[in-house]
Amino acid sequence: MDFSNLHKTDPEIASAIDQELQRQRDSIELIASENFTSPSVMEAMGSVLTNKYAEGYPGKRYYGGCEKVDIVENLAIDRVCKLYGSKFANVQAHSGSGANMSAYMALLQPGDKILGMALDNGGHLSHGAKVSFSGKVYHSVSYGVDPQTERINMDDVAAIAEREKPQVIVAGASAYPRTIDFEAFAEVAKSVGAYLVVDMAHIAGLVAAGYHPTPVGVADIVTSTTHKSLRGPRGGFVLTNDEELAKKIDKATFPGLQGGPLMHVIAGKAVAFGEALQPSFKEYIGRVVENAAQLGKGMTDGGLRLVSGGTDNHLCLVDLTPANVTGKEAEEVLGTVGITCNKNTIPNEKQKASIASGVRIGSPAMTTRGFNAEESYRIGQLIAQTVFNKDDQEVLDRIHGEINDMLAKHPLYPEL
Ligand SMILES: *Cc1c(COP(=O)(O)O)cnc(C)c1O
């Protein structure tokens, strides 16, 4: 992309963007919710579409001059429906949390009850956490993981649903390394007369590529982000096969929650959906899953413990207590050797969330950058070595050197 204008008119912002590009290049990105979107997606987002007001939906807008943006939004809708085999889609949500707001507003009245996965067990803020709109507007209750297996136990979920009688059950997570049984959730929802919302934000790319069972056709409503494993621009979308629900979702999104849609971002979403429809995306996700497994193997061989004993998807949740290091300390020391990740609570957590006993390690971004299975295993070993030697500067310097050599083999955005 050409930033020559920005460098002239606003050198402060241009410089911060340059520095951020350099930061992204200089470390191995293992934050499970991040990815590197394509230059084509970024071009669409940096386009004249940002100038256009388009309140409403294609063919039914509240402004003139929407013929061209209608092409964009219709393509985004058609492509995402094709990608997931869905009948209806709304692609206007500004974010994943916004997509969830739309789903809840379509199904619930304020004060109704939602049952979601607890934040400290891997759920998301917008699944009923008390500090979130979802825990303030709605009466929220939660399920967690089994303390022994560290996996969702569907008998427990069924018992909580039976006792609480929620109007909506939310399935989906931000820090859960295992396959989620959406069919079992649908059965529980049906048995208590609840709607099922599946939030596939983290695994949207895996679902699109067939590496995780799909919630489409199983849940009443499916919500997602576009910027995680799906590798699109920052944003959200909502799917359903039910025509009445589709109308309610549209109304909830606009005028219920948002004004004008971000047409430049919707264009970026359309480009990303088009990319995800290519055979190369399936291959990419295959490598994402393989690399996550190898990262996990490297870390366990290095002496760390994986929550639930392994991973089925794009992330590992790592228990650092064998190294006697907190999540906060690990995040910091890994940063100094060129590895970016985030601290995370683990099941049966003994620390505050701001300290935590684990880190979350994800493979989508590093796989986009080109790291292979062998390198992933090595990175896993280096993560373990780093946390076990966090006070030995000599060891840390050697690891940082090895990381830098690996980074140099996989240049990020060489065209920029
Ligand atoms: C990331 C995430 C979201 C929220 O996405 P934002 O775009 O940050 O609002 C929602 N649900 C789940 C499960 C997520 O992991």
Q: Which residue out of 234, 251, 305, 328 is catalytically annotated? A: 234
Instruction: Give the mutation target among 102, 125, 126 for probing the ligand 1 site: most ligand atoms within 8 A of CB.
Output: 126
The predicted pLDDT at position 68 comes to 98
| Per-residue pLDDT at 1 exceeds 80 | no
The predicted pLDDT at position 146 comes to 97
CA distance 49 to 335: 37
The predicted pLDDT at position 331 comes to 98
Q: Are strands 56-57 and 60-61 parallel, antiparallel or unpaired?
A: antiparallel
Q: Ligand 1 centroid vs 199 CA: distance in angstroms?
A: 8
Atom of ligand 1 nearest to the CA of 94: 7
Q: Ligand 1 centroid vs 394 CA: distance in angstroms?
A: 39
What is this structure's pTM?
0.97
CA distance 292 to 380: 9
**Catalytic residue list contains 225:** yes
**379-408 confidence digits (pLDDT tens):** 999 999 999 999 999 999 999 999 999 999
The predicted pLDDT at position 4 comes to 87
Pocket residues: Cβ below 6 A from ligand 1:
33, 95-97, 124, 126, 172-174, 199, 201-202, 225, 236
The predicted pLDDT at position 308 comes to 98
**Catalytic residue list contains 130:** no
Q: Ligand 1 centroid vs 349 CA: distance in angstroms?
A: 22
Q: Ligand 1 centroid vs 57 CA: distance in angstroms?
A: 24
The predicted pLDDT at position 2 comes to 73
CA dihedral 66, 70, 72, 75 (to 10 degrees): 180
Contacts of 140-145 spanning 24+ positions with Cβ under 8 A: 140/113, 140/114, 140/115, 140/116, 141/113, 141/114, 141/115, 141/166, 142/115, 142/116, 142/117, 142/118, 143/115, 143/116, 143/117, 143/118, 144/117, 144/118, 144/120, 144/347, 145/121, 145/176, 145/308, 145/347
**259-315 confidence digits (pLDDT tens):** 999 999 999 999 999 999 999 999 999 999 999 999 999 999 999 999 999 999 999
SS3 90: strand
Q: Which residue out of 18, 25, 55, 181 is catalytically annotated? A: 55
Atom of ligand 1 nearest to the CA of 127: 11
Confidence of residue 3 (pLDDT cuts 50, 70, 90): confident
Confidence of residue 363 (pLDDT cuts 50, 70, 90): very high
Q: What is the DSSP letter of 92?
A: -
Q: Ligand 1 centroid vs 59 CA: distance in angstroms?
A: 30
**Catalytic residue list contains 195:** no
Q: Ligand 1 centroid vs 63 CA: distance in angstroms?
A: 31
Q: Which residue out of 61, 79, 151, 228 is catalytically annotated? A: 228
Q: Which residue out of 18, 53, 113, 336 is catalytically annotated? A: 53
Instruction: Give the mutation target among 174, 176, 257 for probing the ligand 1 site: most ligand atoms within 8 A of CB.
Output: 174
- CB-count exposure of residue 85 (10 Å: 0-12, 13-18, 19+): exposed
CA distance 97 to 55: 20
**Catalytic residue list contains 53:** yes
Average pLDDT on 359-373 reads 98
Instruction: Give the mutation target among 33, 91, 102, 124 for probing the ligand 1 site: most ligand atoms within 8 A of CB.
Output: 124
**Catalytic residue list contains 55:** yes
Q: How far is CA 366 from CA 30, 36, 233, 338, in A?
A: 7, 9, 17, 12
CA distance 175 to 344: 8
Closest C-alpha to ligand 1, atom 5: 96
